[in-house]
């Protein structure tokens, strides 16, 4: 599949993700409304699902920047960050994104926003201090590739949607502690259906997270390849990934909700077993470096 086909596919994946989220929320809302014998809960869940979809499209980037404690980057303070991004944006045929920084010694970066005209590239101060210019170009090219490949909306919306499902399930569990539920269940009727409803409500956020993580891992490989094409120097990005991995200490303010956005695992790279890789936000750095350098003649 060509990069252009992947870009178009990402638009479809975004709409599928939002539609899938709506179905999941309706299913969870129906389960809760059935359990408590209150149809109004379903109507509220559907209304929240629709509003969250619309809200996440317009404002999810602001949520991410707030969650990561990012601040605007000035040209005077981060001159190389600005000039590298400007030059690569021109090469890629993109508008220059807004630039933000996170005051954190751990080297990392991410891109967010709803489209190319409303995109943000954010880097930690640790990354800007640690990288050589060619390595910084590799990282920025990777993030610009997320923008050009139309990953950013898909990956940013996933933060809000998966989080909302988790909140909905948590709210149900907390309500369950205070009792309640269908009268016929308390009297012994239809308990199997009640159990299945509870299990489904609990598993829905896990399913949403697995989808989010699978999307993230696939997008990283594509952005690596696209970034290497943009700079024509895959060694720069490969070296940057190795430095990010070698730091091996978590960022000061991390969140599982935003971890998949970063170029490297914000919790620190580590070797993992297959079950841990299933829940990992990033493919192993060794595999990414091998893929980059494998195309070098």
The pLDDT value recorded for residue 297 is 43
Position 26 scores a pLDDT of 76
Q: Please, which residues have CB within 8 angstroms of residue 214's CB and are 6 or more apart in sequence? A: none
Range of the domain at 179: 3-294
* Active-site residue, 220 included: no
pLDDT on residue 91: 95
Instruction: Give the chain's domain count.
Output: 1
Catalytic residue among 77, 143, 187, 276: 143
The C-alpha atoms of residue 265 and residue 260 are separated, in whole angstroms, by 7
Half-sphere exposure of 108 (CA within 13 A, CB side): 30
Strand spans (E) along the chain: 71-72, 98-102, 109-113, 119-124
> How high is the pLDDT of residue 11?
60
Q: Tens digits of per-residue pLDDT, 171-197?
A: 666 666 555 555 455 444 456 555 666
Q: Residue 173: how many CB atoms within 10 A of its CB?
A: 11
pTM, rounded to two decimals:
0.75
Comparing CA positions, the residue from 147, 178, 159 lying closest to residue 59 is 159
């Amino acid at each position: 599949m060509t990069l252009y086909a992947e870009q178009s596919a990402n638009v479809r994946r975004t709409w599928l993700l939002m539609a899938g989220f709506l179905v999941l929320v309706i299913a969870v809302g129906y389960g809760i409304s059935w359990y408590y014998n209150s149809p109004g809960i379903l109507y509220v869940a559907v209304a929240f699902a629709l509003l969250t979809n619309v809200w996440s499209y317009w404002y999810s980037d602001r949520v991410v920047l707030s969650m990561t404690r990012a601040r605007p980057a000035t040209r005077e303070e981060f001159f190389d960050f600005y000039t590298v991004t400007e030059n690569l944006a021109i090469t890629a045929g993109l508008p220059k994104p807004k630039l933000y920084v996170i005051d954190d010694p751990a080297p990392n970066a991410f891109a967010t926003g709803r489209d190319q005209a409303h995109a943000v590239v954010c880097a930690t101060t640790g990354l800007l201090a640690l990288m050589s210019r060619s390595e910084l170009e590799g990282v920025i090219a990777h993030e610009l590739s997320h923008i050009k490949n139309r990953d950013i909306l898909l990956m940013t919306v996933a933060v809000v949607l998966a989080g909302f499902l988790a909140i909905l399930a948590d709210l149900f569990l907390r309500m369950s502690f205070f009792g309640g539920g269908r009268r016929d269940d308390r009297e012994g009727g239809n308990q199997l259906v009640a159990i299945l409803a509870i299990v489904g409500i609990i598993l829905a956020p896990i399913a949403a997270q697995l989808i989010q993580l699978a999307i993230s891992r696939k997008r990283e490989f594509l952005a690596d390849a696209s970034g290497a094409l943009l700079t024509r120097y895959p060694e720069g990005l490969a070296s940057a990934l190795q430095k990010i991995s070698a730091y091996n200490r978590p960022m000061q303010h991390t969140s599982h909700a935003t971890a998949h956005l970063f170029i490297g695992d914000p919790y620190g790279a580590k070797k993992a077993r297959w079950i841990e890789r299933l829940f990992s936000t990033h493919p192993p750095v060794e595999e990414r470096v091998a893929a980059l350098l494998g195309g070098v003649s």
